[in-house]
Amino acid sequence: MKAVAKVRIISPLQVCRKHANWVPPTPPSSPTFGNPCLDLFFRLVEPNTPVKRQANLNYLNQFLPLAWSHNPLTTLKLICNLHYDPHGPGKEHAQGFNSAASWLHHNHPKTLVCNLPAIAAGFRSFEKVLVILYRILEGKDPHYSITLLTEAIEETEDKIAMAKKALDRYERDPHYRFLHDRVSDLFADCLKSDIENFKELKQKKSQSQSDDDDHNYCLELTRAARWCPHVDSLYDCTTLLSESIAKKIFPRISYQGFEENEADHADRARQLLMKEVLLPLEAPLEEQSGYQFEWRTNHRASCPDRKYLEEVKAGGKSKIEAGAMLPHKIIEYVYDCDELRHVAELQWKVMVEDVYLKQCKFRNCLAICDVSGNMMRVPMDVSVALGLLVSELNQEPAWKGKVITFNRNPQLLAIQGDDLRSKCAFVRRMDSQEWHCKVDFQKVFDLILEAAVNGNLRPEQMITKVFVFTIYFDFDEISANQWETDYEAIKSKFKEKGYGNVVPHLVVWNLSQDKSTQAVPCTQPGVTMLSGFITNNLVESFLDNDGDIFPDHVMEAALSPRKYQSLVVVD
């Protein structure tokens, strides 16, 4: 069997540490309602019309200086949060990110440059680094496509004019020159590392004793070759970036054959960049090549949750760690992984008993779980898991193990089932069969009041919060009636039965994965609206704070992933 090389895509930060003059991040100040950082976070989403787009950019330009004055590091993270992230809380606001990067260049150029490796690494975006340089030079975003980087253009007067413009800007603008040099440093460092690793792999394979060698090799590469502008491409002619990169990889003073003048050196270096670096690295980065890609393995097979459950099952853990997994992650394995289902059930039991019951969290709370057909996989898992968890944490018999259905004729149901899987199935079956149903909240509170009266409960035993887990943000979208009218009737009924001071508070959490739905959470009488892209950190914050989630919690959760921790402010 022939040897197989596994390609492991590595971080540019790992290669470019010599340029990383990091300073320790300063702890962010405590966000408060109405601060400019929160305004930026909640109000900036990708607009869908030209008019809204311009208004959005005007808002960005207005609030960036205010937010930076309030908290520079948080603002820097918010700028990077505008970048598209298909698997996380980042927003799909390309123009916003590009505009904010230009603002950084003009106001904090060292901070922008210092964070280029972090942008290329944590945000998987060598492309964005190129767009930043192009925008600073041309004053507009490129009409981006891969042909901009790869297809050569013929020698024309326009090509010469573009080169003269780029050279003139480079020579007269020190801030642009600084940015250009650091972008070329980033690519040169990564490409040198990549080609060295590639050559080492070829040497190891050539030293193999036979074609039957069954050794598996690992080739560590960045994506720099995938995004490096090809010589004489439109992007190269506009920025002259390829020449800068080539001359750093093949300098005159250390490379034989470069005794000629500077112009000849530039031409030779560019030719070598294509022949000896970019072309050899094409194959390992092509998905249809004979290489195996580490990132193409089954995600769940290598995720920490699965590894933890497998260790518990194998007896490698002497004790189950109660807080090792979040509720919605546990039920994933209960439903989809037969070999680990029993261990996941044990994990749930330990989590409920050791983490939440002992801390007396979510006592006297109920959940309304939207499990209708428009709930996608992740929101559905979160709705079911949190609904079950809240039901099991109740101490009063009137509330324990119960949940409320999401429809116009709600019911207070006791969850049936002998194990976690059957209980999850019960909650999922509560679907009203309506694609977009609404909830009669006055009937919900009637059910709660009736149960309290029938159980002779004292006011302190009354439900304190009713959580609604859905994918709708606008309260009018889920309420069957006008809330203000309903709320007055609810208060009157509770007062009449002796519960006037303990009317439950309604907390509606929009679990939608649509990043364009984020808006400033608003509060109506007796209601709190919450919206936020579902992340582990946001769910943890919800659980840690007993369901009391405010805008600053949502922002902190969105900016807490590891990739944001590499960002630094230096000027």
What average pLDDT does range 274-285 have in this prediction?
A: 88
Q: What is the DSSP string of 157-214?
A: HHHHHHHHHHHHHHHH-HHHHHHHHHHHHHHHHHHHHHHHHHHHHHHHHHT-SSTT--
For residue 544, count other CB atoms closer than 10 A to its CB: 13
546 CB contacts (<8 Å, ≥6 apart)?
361, 362
Higher-pLDDT residue of 517 and 333 is 333
Q: pLDDT tens, 66-101? A: 999 999 999 999 999 887 665 556 677 888 888 999
Is the confidence at residue 499, as pLDDT, over 90?
yes
What local confidence, expressed as pLDDT, does residue 404 receive? Answer: 95
Order of strands, edge to edge, in the sheet holding 292-293? 216-221, 4-9, 292-293
Please answer whether residues 526 and 48 qualify as being in contact, where contact means their C-beta atoms are separated by less than 8 angstroms: no
* Kind of pairing between the strands at 4-9 and 523-524: unpaired
Grade residue 31 by pLDDT with cuts at 50, 70 and 90.
very low
CA angle 488, 490, 491 (to 5 degrees): 65
Please answer whether residues 165 and 263 qualify as being in contact, where contact means their C-beta atoms are separated by less than 8 angstroms: no
Is the confidence at residue 224, as pLDDT, over 60?
yes
Can you name the residues that pair with 277 across neighbouring β-strands? none
**Looking at the chain, how many residues does it have?**
571
What local confidence, expressed as pLDDT, does residue 21 receive? Answer: 44
Share above pLDDT 90 across residues of the chain, in percent, rounded to a whole number: 37
Grade residue 297 by pLDDT with cuts at 50, 70 and 90.
very low
510 CB contacts (<8 Å, ≥6 apart)?
470, 471, 472, 473, 517, 529, 530, 531, 532
Which structure tokens are listed for 403?
């949940």
What local confidence, expressed as pLDDT, does residue 407 receive? Answer: 87
Grade residue 335 by pLDDT with cuts at 50, 70 and 90.
confident
Higher-pLDDT residue of 515 and 510 is 510
Grade residue 496 by pLDDT with cuts at 50, 70 and 90.
very high
Residue indicated by tokens 């998905």: 287
What average pLDDT does range 205-227 have in this prediction?
A: 72
Alpha carbon separation from 7 to 3, 4, 201, 273, 275 (Å, rounded): 13, 10, 11, 21, 21
Q: pLDDT tens, 112-168? A: 999 999 888 877 678 889 989 999 998 887 765 555 666 666 667 778 888 899 999
Higher-pLDDT residue of 546 and 23 is 546
Order of strands, edge to edge, in the sheet holding 465-470? 412-414, 402-405, 365-369, 465-470, 505-510, 527-531, 523-524
Is the confidence at residue 296, as pLDDT, over 50?
no
Q: Domain residues of the chain, as ranges?
A: 4-294, 309-359, 360-558
pLDDT averaged over every residue in the chain: 82
- Cβ-based burial of 330 (10 A; exposed 0-12, middle 13-18, buried ≥19): buried
What local confidence, expressed as pLDDT, does residue 302 receive? Answer: 45
Helices (H) and strands (E) in the chain, counts: 26, 10
Torsion of CA 484, 485, 487, 493, to 10 degrees: 160
What average pLDDT does range 437-460 have in this prediction?
A: 93
Q: pLDDT tens, 529-568? A: 777 666 788 888 888 888 887 778 888 888 888 889 999 9
In the chain, the N- to C-terminal Cα span, in Å, equals: 56
What average pLDDT does range 412-427 have in this prediction?
A: 93
Q: Give the least confident one: 161-170, 293-302, 321-330, 533-542.
A: 293-302
Grade residue 348 by pLDDT with cuts at 50, 70 and 90.
very high
- Cβ-based burial of 155 (10 A; exposed 0-12, middle 13-18, buried ≥19): exposed
Fold of the domain spanning 360-558? Rossmann fold (3.40.50)
Q: What is the DSSP string of 52-78?
A: HHHHHHHHHHHHHHHHHHH-HHHHHHH
SS3 357: helix
Which structure tokens are listed for 155?
């020698």
Share above pLDDT 70 across residues of the chain, in percent, rounded to a whole number: 80
